[in-house]
Each structure stands twice: as structure tokens, then as C-alpha cells.
Amino acid sequence: MEKKNGRTEIAELGEFGLIDRLMADVEPKNETTLLGCGDDAAAVAAGEREAVVCTTDLLTEGVDFDLTYFPLRHLGYKAVTVGVSDILAMNARPEQLLLSIGVSAKISVEALDDLYEGVKFACRELGVDFVGGDTRASLTGLTLHVTVLGRVERDRMVRRDGARINDLICITGNLGAAYMGLRLLEREKRVLSDVKNPEPQFGGYEYLLERYLKPRARKDIVDALREEGIVPTSMIDLSDGLASDLMQICKASKCGARIYLERIPIAKQTTAFAEEIHADPVVAALNGGEDHELLFTVPLSMQEKIMQLGMVDVIGHITAENTGAYLVTPDGSDIRLKAQGFPEKE
Ligand code: ADP
Ligand code: MG
């Protein structure tokens, strides 16, 4: 992989390849470390029966958000969702949050008030205590660094590596809406870039904007699973897109998967806007990302219980590792899932 001059471009490895390489020789040594790098959150022993789970996420201006159309109040809310969602993916209760900010002089105090309004609102909604952070100057725009801690009984903690053959693949909510919200905002930004008093046209697509700008963490699902006595065999939050995140489960659990295209829940507005811009809503669901819904697996025997929840769609099942991960289309063709980019027909 390394070039002759000793320099490897990050793009050659990709995000996951880079993390694998940097962390290859890192082995947790402390007895209290129950789970290290590689899942939605790390886990630390807390007493005899419980674990504290912790996750950290970085959001940078220009990469994760564009302040020309991202209201700071919503950005604060979304930063909480991004962190809390990883805690929920461990089947844990989110309890504490820290937020560090890198701020440039172009941001006013009032703008930061708005950002923190959003953070505090989301924390209140989720029952999370906002317990600190750090503040630094930045020369390169706004940076947000969110850390969230949660708690779970060890025997209820759910990792990415527990999926077994014939388990049902379940998802919450619907997919692709956040990505279409982003496409809508980008379109309005382009159209209105030369207009003096821009008035963007979002009529009929408010749901897409909400899914991108103010996604909700699915604490209701983790609560409902607890109430019904269901412990998923594996779980991940959908931050990178269904294809990539399902493949993370397959990789960790050493299994394959078959999901059925017509079972993937896609909202009406997602399909409508995709048609308007000549995009494929299924590709948005598979590769769009930022949905912050939960993807999890349960044993086949749980089918009835899961359907009774009424908040979850079963979109396929787990198969043997050597069969790979596939999307089955209504005409019966199998499309091999890829972590990124457009899926290819076989
Ligand atoms: P998520 O999308 O759920 O936030 P990521 O894809 O960011 O998860 O990270 C996957 C795993 O890799 C996590 O366990 C995370 O702790 C770890 N990880 C990510 N970036 C780094 C890094 N720079 N150094 C060490 N571990 C990392
Ligand atoms: Mg995650």
C-alpha cells in the first residue's frame, strides 16, 4: 500500500482502513475496559453488573455542516443526537454529555447562545446531563466535539458482533430523508447564491429539512425494547447509510445478509424530491447516511414480538458469511451491497 516516497494518501485507505491501521496494535490492558475500539461506543466496567459506555464525535464546519443554511440552534440539537445515537446503539441509557467548541471570531456570542439553546433543549428531551466541555479559538471555522456517556446492565449491552444466521434485520423509522434534506438545502443555496434577499422554496419538503437539520435520537426504541424484554443480538446506529452500516454488522458478526428492496421504508417526501431531482430514493437510503435510526438484529423467534412494537420494519435476515451481503429487488435480482457508491448488479 505504501508509495515509494514513503507517503500514502488517506484516500487510498478510506476512513475505516485508516482507523484499522492506526489502531492495529492497540490492545486494552485494564480489567475495567470491557470493550475497546470498533463498536458504536467503548464500554467500561461499573460495579459488578453494569457498564458505562462512552463515545466521541467531531463535527467540522464545511465538512459536516454549512453555516449558510444550518441554524445554530438546530446544529446544537443535532450534535447531541449524533453522540446520543451511538450510546443508544449499545442499548444503553444516555446520561452525561460534554461539548467542546473551537470558535473563530466570525461567530458572535449570540450565535453561540443559539447553539447552546439547541444543545440544552436536546439534553432535556433525552434526560441527559450536560456536564462540561472545552473552549478554544479556531482559525478554520467552527468545530464541535461531543462526548456522551451512558449506562447499561452488562447482560443487556448490545454490540455489533452478535448477529447470527437467520436473525431478522430490523430498522426504525425511514431512510434517505436526511440526505434528501441536504440535497434540497444545497439546491436552494446554489439557486439563490446571486439573489439579494433570498427566499428559499421549501414548500412541501419540510419533513426532509427536519430530518437533516434536527434528527431525533431514537431513545423511544431503546425504552420500548426494554419494556418488551427484547435484547437485540446486534445493533448499530445508521449514520453512514444502510449499506455501509449493515456491512459493519456483517463484518463484526462474521455473517452475510439479505435485505429486500421493497421492505426498505422510505418516506413519501423522500421519493417525491428524489424524482424531482432525478435521483434514486433507494440509493439515498442505502448510501445517504445521517438518518440516525437504529439497525438491529433479533432471533427469528422474536418476529411476533417485534412486529407488535409497531415502530420497526423487518427488512431481511442474516445469512452465512460466505454468501455476502445482498439487496434483493422485486424482480428477484441480487445486488451485492457496497459500503459506498452505487450498488452494482450481478
Ligand atoms: P460511529 O459512526 O458509530 O460514530 P465511527 O465510524 O466514527 O463510529 O468509528 C468506528 C469505531 O472506530 C469506533 O469504535 C471509534 O471509537 C473508532 N475510531 C474512530 N476514529 C478513531 C480514531 N481516530 N482513533 C481511534 N479510534 C477511532
Ligand atoms: Mg454509530
Ligand 1 close to Cβ of residue 252 (< 6 A): no
Please write the tens of the pLDDT for every residue from 53-80: 999 999 999 999 999 999 999 999 999 9
What homologous superfamily is domain 4-156 in, according to CATH? PurM-like, N-terminal domain (3.30.1330.10)
Domain ranges of the chain: 4-156, 160-336
Ligand 1 close to Cβ of residue 290 (< 6 A): no
Percent of the chain with pLDDT over 70: 96
Ligand 1 close to Cβ of residue 248 (< 6 A): no
Strands of the sheet containing 143-153, edge to edge, are 33-35, 42-46, 50-60, 143-153, 93-103, 129-137
Quick one: which atom of ligand 1 is closest to the CA of 89?
3
Expressed in angstroms and rounded, the spacing between residue 126 Cα and the centre of ligand 2 is 18
- Pick from 4-18, 152-166, 245-259: least confident: 4-18
- pLDDT bucket at 201, cuts 50 / 70 / 90: confident
State the Cα–Cα distance between residues 189 and 200, nearest whole angstrom.
8
Expressed in angstroms and rounded, the spacing between residue 236 Cα and the centre of ligand 1 is 13
Cα angle 170, 175, 257; round to 5:
40
Average pLDDT over residues 211-229: 97
Expressed in angstroms and rounded, the spacing between residue 327 Cα and the centre of ligand 1 is 26
Model confidence, pTM = 0.95
Expressed in angstroms and rounded, the spacing between residue 204 Cα and the centre of ligand 1 is 36
Average pLDDT over residues 84-88: 98
CATH placement of domain 160-336:
3.90.650.10
Helix, coil or strand: residue 73: helix
Indicate the average pLDDT of the chain: 94
Please write the tens of the pLDDT for every residue from 284-325: 999 999 999 999 999 999 999 999 999 999 999 999 999 999
Quick one: which atom of ligand 1 is closest to the CA of 16?
6
Residue 82: closest CA among 177, 213, 186, 183: 213
Ligand 1 close to Cβ of residue 40 (< 6 A): yes
- Phi, psi of 93, rounded to the nearest 5 degrees: -90, 125
pLDDT of residue 139: 93
Expressed in angstroms and rounded, the spacing between residue 256 Cα and the centre of ligand 2 is 20
Expressed in angstroms and rounded, the spacing between residue 190 Cα and the centre of ligand 2 is 31
pLDDT of residue 343: 44
Quick one: which atom of ligand 1 is closest to the CA of 82?
4
Quick one: which atom of ligand 1 is closest to the CA of 37?
14
Please write the tens of the pLDDT for every residue from 150-175: 999 999 999 999 999 999 999 999 99
C-alpha cell at 248: 459493519
